[in-house]
């Protein structure tokens, strides 16, 4: 039994607040409006979910495809139907017994084109620090001669002006009437009052913003952005007035019952995540709130955060890697070494190199700002004055590169948690090994400053600049980790590319059922109402693609043989400068997306490969594409996909691994839906359809085929294919959760691992007040089961009582139960106790 009193109060919503039993994420846009979602409510209710999980709904930049580029916090996007459509959706959902959960974006707003779409930013550009919105944005007014950098020009400003590409003109600006503005193609900017009559060059110099070549952003940007995205400007929600203004509409929707809970995008970017969540908890009267938080390795969620938990990436990699065969690590590593030269233990080096490149490239402006801030602190203190800008820069760079998590969670003026201290000292120790001994004293100073400890003249611990350094370093850590690891190293490491997932742990090749059980038991106490997930709008590949890739670990020798045959078949048209990493990436992508219907569509494959090559940042880049290299890789992909020999090899592979893929697909889904937490089903993932990174995974999902499949299953028809089977597992698990919420999210819910005789099974029970009510049995590593001749006399300990498998209708008596008859129709079982 899990006593709810053991769960920290911060992890529980206030009494009486709604708690989702499960969610279904929809990705809103012009092709899926709020009214469109309302039309899907009957299907979602039938599927068994309790809450519809909406992507951001506030007004976004023109043409936005995702909603994370907000331009107005006080308006529901007209593209989605506006507030009236949200009210209609809420009414429809509530009538069907469903609630709504909303994804919100507190960290940043868009720099749209034209800027006037963001009225607050337009005001700041027009009036500078005197704007009533100046406090909204994280701008360093002391840098850039007091002008906000606007890096939108296609060339250096002198060249742009000489070509006459910037013009002074009249424009009807929404909300402002006809105004004198500066126009650069589609970009329109306000003109500072009193400067309208100046010559153009002087006029440009007198504005509260500086128009600049887009490449300048990486070196001289003077506002905080979302990672390295210059069109997303950071918002200072740590200011109570800014918090109130940017959250009022959402809080009102919570208060009037339209919304039941929130998902918080990127809290690590905020100045004070704990403070923000505390304020949100109070303002929302303790609503259910989860955070998009990446926990590295065994890192725990900060204990002072008022949140039910994360959005589930910590569950994702553990579930997925429980269904990866550890025996595949060495042979897949050997294959990677033969093709790429990367050794199995090179992952840490790949990460280090990628982070160095990011620090020295797209995030240089952030690191420069940190260094300048630290240098100013030292310059003003005689005892610290001899620590030079260069020494401080070197120490900060090495510390950022060595940092192994998103931030240290140090809050200026508050006692530092031991975990925060360790998260600073550990990378500092690594950094010292990469630097000369002479730099050791400077590193000591840097660490003390970042920890908020006394350093320099006696009594100096606080101050505006010292506090700012503490906060900005942590904000920069997250950007370096995200861009260096997830958006660079993950596109270079090819041992098993499915392990390179958001929040993942590719260095830990596989997870055991015992490991998973231990984590789940802790989670049931520490964060029983956090989310679990397998696919999101941000995952590099969806669960179905990763499951097909995971099977490579079960048959590594056969996979290596296939790669050798494919390489031989493509030798005549494979360009010499297509490197091994690109090859590994291509062959595994084909394996991960090759279904009974054949290869993934050519346009989806080539779009994905183009993005992957540029994210890897080795031969081609978003900012400087190498068309010849990209063409060589894409031509290889196109020809290989159409090559009958290659097609035959991948078709044979799909047939060879079909049973293992089936077991992994159904097993990972059932486990995700029944482990401790609130499971999310990402749109369309209730059926087996491999997808790749966005925008591929954000494609429109047709409703009618899903409705038809579910109706057919509900009428008693047997599953026709893997998609039917996955929909069966998903719907039955969700309905069990809905009908027995006390076993999953109730105060007396529990999780108990069950005895089993085979390492190829994952078994546990969900309990209510110590009484088992639901039992889960899932096959892992089905290829091993086949090699051993089946389940033989292996057993699982089912708790006492009479049970029914809601997936097959089998009646099962408790006790030591043979696995073979239990899993004779499906590789998973979901037993519900007959009471």
Q: Omega of the bond prior to 263 within 30 degrees of 0, cis?
A: no
In-domain check, residue 323: no
For 302, other C-beta atoms within 10 Å of its C-beta total 21
Domain CATH number, residue 271: 3.20.20.80
Same domain assignment for residues 474 and 366: yes
List, as one string, the DSSP characters of 643-688: -HHHHHHHHHHHHHHHHHHHHHHHHHHHHHHHSSSEEEEETTTTS-
Same domain assignment for residues 132 and 201: yes
Domain C-terminal end among 255, 270, 291: 291
Q: Which residues contact 200 (CB under 8 A, 6 or more apart)?
A: 161, 166, 168
Same domain assignment for residues 191 and 245: no
Same domain assignment for residues 356 and 470: yes
Q: At what angle do helices 389-402 and 364-379 cross, to 10 degrees?
A: 130
What proportion of the chain, given as a percentage, has pLDDT over 90? 94
Arithmetic mean of pLDDT, 812-829: 97
Helix H or strand E segment including 367 = helix 364-379
Arithmetic mean of pLDDT, 277-293: 98
Q: At what angle do helices 543-550 and 644-674 cross, to 10 degrees?
A: 110
What is the model's pLDDT at position 5?
Answer: 53
Q: Which residues span the domain enclosing 420?
A: 350-486
In-domain check, residue 586: no
Separation CA 416–CA 410 (nearest Å): 6
Q: How far is CA 649 from the centre of its chain?
A: 34
List, as one string, the DSSP characters of 763-832: EEEEEETTEEEEEEEEE--HHHHHHTTS-TT-EEEEEEEEEEETTT--EEEEEEEEHHHHTSSSSEEEEE
Q: Is the pLDDT of residue 3 over 50?
A: no
Give long-range contacts, CB 8 A cutoff, 24+ apart: 343-347. Answer: 344/495, 347/489, 347/493, 347/495, 347/506, 347/507
Separation CA 443–CA 431 (nearest Å): 9
Q: At what angle do helices 644-674 and 556-570 cross, to 10 degrees?
A: 150
pLDDT tens per residue, range 197-226 = 999 999 999 999 999 999 998 888 888 887
Same domain assignment for residues 453 and 416: yes
Same domain assignment for residues 81 and 141: no
What is the model's pLDDT at position 2?
Answer: 41
Q: Which residues contact 583 (CB under 8 A, 6 or more apart)?
A: 339, 567, 574, 636
Task: State the total domains in the chain.
Answer: 4
What is the model's pLDDT at position 602?
Answer: 98
Q: Which residues contact 363 (CB under 8 A, 6 or more apart)?
A: 218, 227, 228, 476, 479, 480, 483
Alpha helices by DSSP H, listed for 456-541, are 464-481, 513-526
Same domain assignment for residues 140 and 207: yes
Same domain assignment for residues 181 and 242: no
Per-residue burial over 812-821, b if 16 or more Cβ lie within 10 Å, else e, is bebeebebee
Separation CA 592–CA 497 (nearest Å): 10
What is the model's pLDDT at position 141?
Answer: 81
Asked if 724 and 596 touch (Cβ cutoff 8 Å), the reply is no
Domain C-terminal end among 291, 314, 332: 291
What is the model's pLDDT at position 461?
Answer: 81
Domain CATH number, residue 764: 2.60.40
Arithmetic mean of pLDDT, 398-414: 93
Given phi > 0 = left and psi -120 to 50 = alpha, else beta, which region is 99?
A: beta
Determine which of 185-194, 455-464, 652-661 has the lowest per-residue pLDDT on average. 455-464
Backbone angles phi and psi of 580, in degrees to 5: -60, -35
In-domain check, residue 775: yes
What is the model's pLDDT at position 218?
Answer: 86
Same domain assignment for residues 77 and 126: no
Q: How far is CA 37 from the centre of its chain?
A: 23
In-domain check, residue 616: no
Separation CA 203–CA 166 (nearest Å): 11
Arithmetic mean of pLDDT, 392-417: 94
Separation CA 403–CA 356 (nearest Å): 12
Domain CATH number, residue 151: 3.30.1590.10
What is the model's pLDDT at position 224?
Answer: 85
What proportion of the chain, given as a percentage, has pLDDT over 70? 99
Q: Tokens 């969620």 belong to which residue?
A: 301
In-domain check, residue 585: no
Same domain assignment for residues 61 and 189: no
Q: Is the pLDDT of residue 445 over 70?
A: yes
Residue 807, judged by CB atoms within 10 A of its CB (0-12, 13-18, 19+), counts as: buried
Domain C-terminal end among 291, 311, 330: 291
Beta pairing partners, 595: 598
Q: Is the pLDDT of residue 1 over 70?
A: no
Same domain assignment for residues 28 and 100: yes
Separation CA 408–CA 268 (nearest Å): 10
Q: Which residues contact 786 (CB under 8 A, 6 or more apart)?
A: 659, 660
In-domain check, residue 110: no
Separation CA 288–CA 18 (nearest Å): 7
Helix H or strand E segment including 40 = helix 34-47
Q: Is the pLDDT of residue 508 over 80?
A: yes
Number of helical (H) and strand (E) elements in the chain, helices listed first:
27, 24
Q: Is the pLDDT of residue 147 over 70?
A: yes
In-domain check, residue 649: no
pLDDT-derived band at 720, boundaries 50, 70, 90: very high
- CA 542, 548, 552, 554 dihedral sign is positive
The token pair at 13 is 């919503």
What is the model's pLDDT at position 144?
Answer: 61
In the predicted model, what is the mean pLDDT of the chain? Answer: 96
What is the model's pLDDT at position 745?
Answer: 98
What is the model's pLDDT at position 599?
Answer: 97
Q: Is the pLDDT of residue 522 over 80?
A: yes
pLDDT tens per residue, range 22-77 = 999 999 999 999 999 999 999 999 999 999 999 999 999 999 999 999 999 999 99
Separation CA 607–CA 231 (nearest Å): 23
Same domain assignment for residues 355 and 476: yes
In-domain check, residue 686: no
pLDDT-derived band at 228, boundaries 50, 70, 90: confident
């Amino acid at each position: 039994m899990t006593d709810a009193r053991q769960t920290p109060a911060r992890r529980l919503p206030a009494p009486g607040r709604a708690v989702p039993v499960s969610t279904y994420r929809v990705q809103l846009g012009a092709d899926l409006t709020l009214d469109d979602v309302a039309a899907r409510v009957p299907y979602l209710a039938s599927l068994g979910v309790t809450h519809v999980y909406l992507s951001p709904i506030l007004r976004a930049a023109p043409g936005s495809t995702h909603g994370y580029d907000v331009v107005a916090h006080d308006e529901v996007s007209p593209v989605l139907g506006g507030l009236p459509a949200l009210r209609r959706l809420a009414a429809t959902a509530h009538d069907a017994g469903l609630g709504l959960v909303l994804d919100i974006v507190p960290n940043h707003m868009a720099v749209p084109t034209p800027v006037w779409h963001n009225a607050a930013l337009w005001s700041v550009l027009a009036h500078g620090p005197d704007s009533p919105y100046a406090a909204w944005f994280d701008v360093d007014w002391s840098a850039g001669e007091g002008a906000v950098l606007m890096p939108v020009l296609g060339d250096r400003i002198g060249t742009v002006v000489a070509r006459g590409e910037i013009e002074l003109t009249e424009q009807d600006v929404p909300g402002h009437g006809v105004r004198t503005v500066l126009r650069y193609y589609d970009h329109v900017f306000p003109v500072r009052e009193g400067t309208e009559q100046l010559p153009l060059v002087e006029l440009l110099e007198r504005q509260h913003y500086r128009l600049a070549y887009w490449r300048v952003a990486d070196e001289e940007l003077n506002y905080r952005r979302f990672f390295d995205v210059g069109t997303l400007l950071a918002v200072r929600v740590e200011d109570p007035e800014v918090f109130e203004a940017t959250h009022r509409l959402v809080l009102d929707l919570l208060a009037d019952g339209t919304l039941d809970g929130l998902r918080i995008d990127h809290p690590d970017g905020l100045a004070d995540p704990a403070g923000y969540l505390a304020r949100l908890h109070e303002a929302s009267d303790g609503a259910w709130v989860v955070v998009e938080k990446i926990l590295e390795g065994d890192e725990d969620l900060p204990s002072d955060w008022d949140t039910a938990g994360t959005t589930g990436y910590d569950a994702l990699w553990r579930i997925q890697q429980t269904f990866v065969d550890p025996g595949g690590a060495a042979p897949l590593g050997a294959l990677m070494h033969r093709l790429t030269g990367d050794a199995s233990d090179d992952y840490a080096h790949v990460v280090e190199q990628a982070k160095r490149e990011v620090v020295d490239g797209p995030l240089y402006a952030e690191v420069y700002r940190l260094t300048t801030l630290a240098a100013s602190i030292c310059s003003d203190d005689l005892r610290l004055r001899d620590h030079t800008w260069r020494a401080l820069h070197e120490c900060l760079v090495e510390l950022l590169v060595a940092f192994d998590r998103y931030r240290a969670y140090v809050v200026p003026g508050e006692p530092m948690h031991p975990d925060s201290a360790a998260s600073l000292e550990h990378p500092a120790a690594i950094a010292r090994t990469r630097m000369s001994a002479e730099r050791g004293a400077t590193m000591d100073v840097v660490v003390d400053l970042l920890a908020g400890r006394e350093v320099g003249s006696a009594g100096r611990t606080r101050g505006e600049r010292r506090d700012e350094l503490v906060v900005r370093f942590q904000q920069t850590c997250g950007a370096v980790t995200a861009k260096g690891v997830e958006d660079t190293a993950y596109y270079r490491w090819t041992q098993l590319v499915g392990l390179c997932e958001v929040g993942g742990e590719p260095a830990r090749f596989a997870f055991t059922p015992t490991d998973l059980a231990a984590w789940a038991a802790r989670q049931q106490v520490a964060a029983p109402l956090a989310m679990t997930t397998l696919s999101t709008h941000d995952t590099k590949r969806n669960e179905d693609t990763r499951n097909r890739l995971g099977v490579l670990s079960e048959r590594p020798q056969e996979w290596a043989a296939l790669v050798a045959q494919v390489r031989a078949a493509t030798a005549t048209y494979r360009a010499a400068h297509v490197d091994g990493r690109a090859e590994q990436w291509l062959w595994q992508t084909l394996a991960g997306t090759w279904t009974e219907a054949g290869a993934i569509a050519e346009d989806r494959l080539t779009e994905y490969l183009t993005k992957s090559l540029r994210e890897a940042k080795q031969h081609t880049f978003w900012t400087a594409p190498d068309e010849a290299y990209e063409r060589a890789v894409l031509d290889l992909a196109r020809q290989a996909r159409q090559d009958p020999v290659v097609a035959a090899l991948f078709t044979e592979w799909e047939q060879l691994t079909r049973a293992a893929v089936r077991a992994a697909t159904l097993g990972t889904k059932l486990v995700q839906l029944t482990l401790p937490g609130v499971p999310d089903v990402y749109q369309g993932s209730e059926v087996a359809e491999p997808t790749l990174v966005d925008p591929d995974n954000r494609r429109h999902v047709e409703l009618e085929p899903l409705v038809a499949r579910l109706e057919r299953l509900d009428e008693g028809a047997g599953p026709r294919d893997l998609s039917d089977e996955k929909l069966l597992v998903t719907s039955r698990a969700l309905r069990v959760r809905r009908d027995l919420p006390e076993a999953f999210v109730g105060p007396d819910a529990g999780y108990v691992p069950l005895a089993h005789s085979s390492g190829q099974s994952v078994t546990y029970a969900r309990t209510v007040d110590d009484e088992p009510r639901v039992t889960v049995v899932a096959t892992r590593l089905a290829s091993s089961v086949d090699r051993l001749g089946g389940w033989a006399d292996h057993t699982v300990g089912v708790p006492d009582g009479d049970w029914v498998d809601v997936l097959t209708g089998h009646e099962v008596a408790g006790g030591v139960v043979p696995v073979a008859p239990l899993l004779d129709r499906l590789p998973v079982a979901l037993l519900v106790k007959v009471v």
